[in-house]
Structure 1
Amino acid sequence: MTGRTDQAPDEEQDQGLSAPDTAFTALLEDSVEDLYEQAPCGYLSTLMDGTIAKINTTLLEWLGLSRRDVAGRMRFTDLLTVGGKLYHETHFAPLLQMNGEVGGIALDIKTADGQRMPVLVTSKVKTSHNGEPMLVRTTIFDARDRRAYETELLRARRTAEEARRQAEADRERLQEALAVLQRSLLPAELPTVPGLEASSYYHTASPDLLGGDFYDLFPLGADRWAFFLGDVCGKGPQAAAVTSLTRYTLRAAALHDPDPVTVLTTLNTVLHERYQSIDPRYCTAIFGVLQPGNGHASVHMASGGHPSALIQRADNTTHYLPTPGGMLIGVLPQARFTAAHTQLFPGDTLLLYTDGLTEARTGPERKLYGEDALRAFVAEQPGSGPQALVTALSGLLAGFGDGLDDDTALLALGVPAALPASLSEDLICAG
């Protein structure tokens, strides 16, 4: 027994393999075949005319077909959907013929029950030792998860696009609503005042925010007219609410007692009582009364913390009408306001403005435009009346560009210039 035991290894060595080596080789062959058949992707080999010569179990299971149904009986294109077959013929096959390989192409295969299955296909031509093409080896990866991911991305993109369009539509509607509300806080047009000329302008710095600037001109009776211009602190709906309250308070107070100081005192009481305990709000304003006379107009006005009115005389001299000491409106329960009087003669114009004009930033150093520059600008304009002055100032505002970051309101009132004697005679004769 000992001799026979010693002889077995010698015989195996003569055959060139030991028993473990033989078992390993057999196991390796089984593993390679099993790896091909049960791989996590599909494998197939086709002849050069596309006939399927070999296909692995994984792909057969995806297709729901048996090996005898496929091998030698079907072409690769028979596995594709109509769209996939068209793409294969027009793109895939020509690229494979030119380059010898094609990688990562998205196609759809059809299963036995008629379902579409998205896959990624990679093909490579195998050639003989003399370079002749022999067959095509193709690897097919399941792309259902990827397709689901892409579908979800596409759905999310469409949802985002729809949300963006909705947001733009909402923004447009909001801007329209803000514009309507802004217009409701200002007179649609100024009334015609016998013996006087009036002009106004409103510059909106941001279409997305309601401004707090306001103005008005309205009759008091007995040939008297009230006017006011002001600026509420802040922007947005809260400022708009204060603006609305301010405008209607000034109108109501003026009809009760048109004295400018009394009107501003009433407004101060209303704002202070309304906002002191919840959200302090205040404003600046000029209120005045105009009374046209024989070729002139008397002006009685008062200011509460507002920039002084500017007067352009017919001879182009320009000066401010000082109202020193006027306090902000709505801050304190008791506020002091300063009254001022002047006369407007033919060719004279009274200009009221909000501080967006004088606080505009100009030049490389972004300096404040300032009251001195405004007075110099007005002095350079011909004394052609309120409309001409407001037109010139609106051009000035436009020239500030992004240096004008606050809303600006303008209100100009004046007495028309007297006609030359010769022209008056011509008009009388023509009449």
Structure 2
Amino acid sequence: MRRPNGAGPSSSGERPEDEQAQVSALLEDSVEDLYEHAPCGYLSTLLNGRIAKVNTTLLNWLGYRRQDLVDRKYFSDLLTVGGRLYHETHFAPILQMHGEISGIALEMSTADRTRLPVLVTSTVKTGSDGQPLLIRTTIFDARDRRAYETELLRARREADRERDRLQALATTLQRTLLPPVLPNVPGLEVAAHYHVASVDEVGGDFYDLFPLAADIWGLFLGDVCGKGAAAAAVTSLARYTLRATAVYDHDPASVLSSLNSVLNQENHGSEPRFCSVIFGLLNSAPDYGGFCITLASGGHPPALLIGADGTTDFLPTPGGQLIGILPDPHIATTTVHLAPGDTLLLYTDGLTEAHTSTTGSKERYGDDALLDFARTLAPTNASAAISALRDLLDTFGSGVDDDTAVLAIHAPFSSPTQARDCP
């Protein structure tokens, strides 16, 4: 019959009572050894802080002999100047009040005056009568942790610097894609605003207003698909193509057709290059009062006409298709008379597609809400309209998840000429 596991004499032939004695001796030795050579420092002090007992681990860390510390030094003597100040003003009062304090980061001063970062936990030992007898302190070496935190802080600072650099680069690049200032157009008041949804990425919205000939001006406002460097490249290409084409061809539909040909040839499948854009031609019309404006739209939200008489509505440019996708897209056109007191408002869909709530709602602002808002402004001028729209965008907060460009053109009451429809 086999013995159960662990039963019977040991394989060495020792008697059970001898084996038990050895185990007891080992346990008794290990208790003292655990204290002296624990992976942390142990320190016992009197209530006034004078050191009464210290283990070998802490002595080795600090480079002291036992007789250098016991009954000779106080716990605060082992701290750096800053550590002593914190001990006197925070550590000791909290320990006295609550009887314990844990996980406090301090720096101890070694025998050779180097700094040892540590984490300190102290408890007050009381007697059977509840009276405090001494203070027991456990000290953990925090050099590796401090090195990790220092490296983490260095990496974070480096990341912050890199982010600031990228933000500055994005901001600079964004500025190169927009006119630094809008030109002074005789007989018109113009204003614009660009709302940045993210400072980390370059947006794809763009606008411009520029002279073409005597009393003839070109304008455009568009939105490129995507963000970042790829979108910036398309924005730059679209902006300069529109300006260059308009110099030789004043027909807005033809200008957009030329842009479509350029973008269509640049499409590379995985990096689609297309945009929505509205291009306009402004002609001074002194015989009619104000300006005649011809607009061509390639898949862009319709412009708003805010009348001097308070009427406000979208201009009809239905069916216009995005520029750059199809070889021969449909481009919608319309002509409008910008009479004295009227304001023309162009915008990108970052405005109408903004979330109206920052609490996670998927509800969009929408065209109807924008039309109602514009009607509350009528009649208005360019600067007032842009200011109101800027405030509106600010109310959406983080709900604006796409860049938004707005451009307003206003014909002031400066001409007594009878206003008539443009031919």
Both structures adopt the same fold (TM-score exceeding 0.5): yes
* Residue 163 of structure 1 pairs with residue 155 of structure 2: yes
Residues 124-157 of structure 1, C-alpha deviations (whole Å, 9 max, x = no match): 999xxxx9xxxx999999x8xx52xx20111101
* Residue 183 of structure 1 pairs with residue 179 of structure 2: no
Q: Judge conservation of contact 2:54–2:70 (CA < 8 Å) in 1.
A: no
Q: Aligned equivalents of 1:57 and 1:302: distance in 2?
A: 86
Q: Partner of 1:296 in structure 2?
A: 290
Q: Judge conservation of contact 1:107–1:121 (CA < 8 Å) in 2.
A: no
Shift of 1:41: 4.9
Aligned residue runs from structure 1 range 272-351, under 5 A: 272-294=264-286, 295-351=289-345
TM-score where L is the length of structure 1: 0.69
Given the alignment, which residue of 416, 423, 431 partners 2:412? 416
Q: Partner of 2:347 in structure 1?
A: 353
After TM superposition, what 4+ stretches of structure 1 lie above 6 angstroms from structure 2?
Answer: 54-66, 79-82, 102-111, 113-126, 136-141
Q: Partner of 1:15 in structure 2?
A: none
Q: Partner of 2:186 in structure 1?
A: 194
Query: What's the secondary structure of 1:395's corresponding residue?
Result: helix
Cα 1:314/1:164, change in 2 over 3 Å: same
Cα 1:79/1:190, change in 2 over 3 Å: closer
Shift of 1:340: 1.5
Q: Aligned equivalents of 1:197 and 1:236: distance in 2?
A: 32
Q: Judge conservation of contact 1:37–1:57 (CA < 8 Å) in 2.
A: no
Segment drifting more, 372-381 vs 228-237: 372-381
Cα 1:269/1:35, change in 2 over 3 Å: same
Query: What's the secondary structure of 1:159's corresponding residue?
Result: helix
Q: Aligned equivalents of 2:250 and 2:156: distance in 1?
A: 52
Shift of 1:79: 8.6
TM-score where L is the length of structure 2: 0.70
Q: Partner of 1:425 in structure 2?
A: none
Given the alignment, which residue of 201, 206, 220 partners 2:212? 220
Q: Aligned equivalents of 2:58 and 2:376: distance in 1?
A: 89
Identity, % of aligned positions? 44
Given the alignment, which residue of 384, 390, 400 partners 1:388? 384
AA of the residue aligned to 1:396 = L
Unaligned runs of 5+ in 1: 1-19, 44-51, 422-431
Task: Count how many residue pairs are aligned between Structure 1 and Structure 2.
Answer: 373
Cα 1:125/1:277, change in 2 over 3 Å: closer
Root-mean-square deviation (CA), in Å? 5.1
Cα 1:122/1:307, change in 2 over 3 Å: closer
AA of the residue aligned to 1:399 = T
Larger radius of gyration: 1
Q: Aligned equivalents of 2:214 and 2:114: distance in 1?
A: 90
Q: Judge conservation of contact 1:305–1:327 (CA < 8 Å) in 2.
A: yes
Q: Judge conservation of contact 1:80–1:110 (CA < 8 Å) in 2.
A: no
More helix by share: 1
Q: Judge conservation of contact 2:107–2:115 (CA < 8 Å) in 1.
A: no
Shift of 1:40: 5.8
Cα 1:115/1:31, change in 2 over 3 Å: farther
Query: What's the secondary structure of 1:367's corresponding residue?
Result: coil
Q: Partner of 2:399 in structure 1?
A: 403
Q: Judge conservation of contact 1:313–1:349 (CA < 8 Å) in 2.
A: yes
Q: Aligned equivalents of 1:138 and 1:311: distance in 2?
A: 81
Q: Partner of 1:9 in structure 2?
A: none
Q: Aligned equivalents of 2:215 and 2:256: distance in 1?
A: 22
Q: Judge conservation of contact 1:242–1:281 (CA < 8 Å) in 2.
A: yes
Given the alignment, which residue of 257, 262, 276 partners 2:249? 257
Q: Aligned equivalents of 2:372 and 2:114: distance in 1?
A: 83
Cα 1:279/1:56, change in 2 over 3 Å: closer
